[in-house]
Structure 1
């Protein structure tokens, strides 16, 4: 079925409110999921609603949690998500971190006791639209082994980067597994096979079965380099924030176990402070040069274009997804 963005937001928000989530938190989560869906990231969009709702009803995520912030030093914003959804904590970060970065040139937000960070490109894009460059790191429940091992140790541990370019930011958002785990979850929900180079089954063999893939481990992007980067993100997002490590965290896909208590780290940089008054034109120069070559698309532009189109035409929701939401 086709649905407008406003109706989609109301659908998700109302569903969460029925599932023991406060109105304010439900609206924050709904905004993130609808924007993910509109960006073409279905694995982080409406397909998350059943799991989010079940976790809130079970108390695995506290739907009524209010994130708490402190500023232990002028350049550090520390946020306790209180075992609630990540999105209200990220909203709190966006409300405070930009001013800190402008005053000092750079500032860091540390979030702990958090949950699924969603499409992190949307978060760094918000900062880029405020004139800041930023990097974001998040850990996730263990899904990848350390290089040479078979025990799930790190999550897919995404990295996102955004930089302002004349009002049209460049946004890079990537998981450190070969593909995002959400794509395998979406394949499971659709009942379709996955390529045999996405994941290993519990015995360490390549698999096309998304169920076995979710029980096994993900293939790291770039082999040993991707595994090393996943470790780096784990140390930044969980080690330095005091959050639980991926191997300690429960699944984001069911309502079993204790809160995942994950972490996120966001670094915001004021380009004017690092590059001087001509930095805006300097960034436009490299963006123009890169995109001048035929076939090259600057990262982040496709998702933004998709959201603009969705604002006009609405969203197509697959029948199985809408049925699952309507049953909640």
Structure 2
């Protein structure tokens, strides 16, 4: 295993992205996000994404020279165009604009169109919590799940996220995809030739399967799909919020992130920022938050949302990151 400090990892990733054609600002923004994910123990969204991103930059699936821009701002509604670049600069611009708008108007909806994979969705909301406001996040992704009662993939795993600031404590950070399990679990099972439980995936013919390879060739099942269509309905809501409302592509119109060749995904993200001071007031908000958290913590074993990943990140700030030697070698080659 290879050891890297946070600073070393950030510089290495940024160099690899620049070598693939990313501009300085895009490379820096993306590197910070991927290293932060790795520090939180989220390897699937961390440094392992660098080879994927660099391939997409070289193959034209992402434009490394794109400059995200705000193209509409009407009252509390903001639209940012990522211009087919990597998502992180566009998301940063959308969130920053939403914060300043919500400070004036009390609330803001900021959409991002013509975008790419946005990494750990809730991390985009940290600045919102730091500003003392509530943040919600939504994103779509290339098709992986069928509609309720359907068989072929239409929706992505379509994550939702939320950040709630606390008084003198880390914010609550909630982040979940709307598939029954993460697609990465199927990838691990397939690699190890292990079966998967029924209810995780369908094969290419739309039939339930315990074969991980067949599931990867088919589609993921939405959250709770075995007993109800609720997960699929939530995925539909997210899909429409970040496509029809902001003008991005549907998941079924975007090539998979896990193939080298394909189209520019042009998917969407959306962020909602709410100032508690514009509603109940910050004092009431803080009291209500701490009352609920106090009640939750009466039971042993309750873990607050985001606490584990924040703890791991704080450890990594001093102890650094540990990654497989093969990944380190690959990153060195990409950065050379």
- Correspondence for 2:310: 304
* 1:249 counterpart = 2:254: yes
CA contact (8 A) 2:95 2:110 kept: no
Classify 1:78/1:186 alpha carbon distance in 2 versus 1 (closer, same or farther; 3 Å): farther
The residue matched to 1:154 in structure 2 has which SS?
coil
- Correspondence for 1:25: 26
Q: Higher mean Cα deviation, 200-209 or 73-82?
A: 200-209
* 1:222 counterpart = 2:227: no
**Matched residues in 2 for 1:132 and 1:214: separation?**
39
- Correspondence for 1:175: 177
User: CA-to-partner distance for each residue in 1:82-123, whole Å, 9 max, x for gaps?
Assistant: 000110101112322111011111101011000011111211
Shift of 1:185: 4.8
CA contact (8 A) 1:237 1:264 kept: yes
- Correspondence for 1:264: 269
Shift of 1:205: 3.4
When the two structures are superposed, what TM-score results if normalisation uses the length of structure 1? 0.94
Please show how residues 97-108 of structure 1 align to structure 2 within 5 Å. 97-108=98-109
- Correspondence for 1:205: 208
**Matched residues in 2 for 1:320 and 1:221: separation?**
34
**Matched residues in 2 for 1:57 and 1:319: separation?**
24
CA contact (8 A) 1:201 1:207 kept: no
**Matched residues in 1 for 2:30 and 2:188: separation?**
19
Shift of 1:312: 1.1
Across the aligned residues of Structure 1 and Structure 2, the Cα RMSD in angstroms comes to 1.7
Aligned with residue 239 of structure 2, among 203, 217, 234: 234
CA contact (8 A) 1:47 1:186 kept: no
- Correspondence for 1:67: 68
The residue matched to 1:153 in structure 2 has which SS?
coil
The residue matched to 2:264 in structure 1 has which SS?
coil
When the two structures are superposed, what TM-score results if normalisation uses the length of structure 2? 0.92
The residue matched to 2:73 in structure 1 has which SS?
strand
Structure 2's unaligned 5+ residue stretches are none
Classify 1:68/1:183 alpha carbon distance in 2 versus 1 (closer, same or farther; 3 Å): farther
Structure 1's unaligned 5+ residue stretches are none
Q: How many residues are treated as equivalent by the alignment? A: 326
Q: Following superposition, which runs of at least 4 residues in structure 1 exceed 6 angstroms of deviation?
A: none
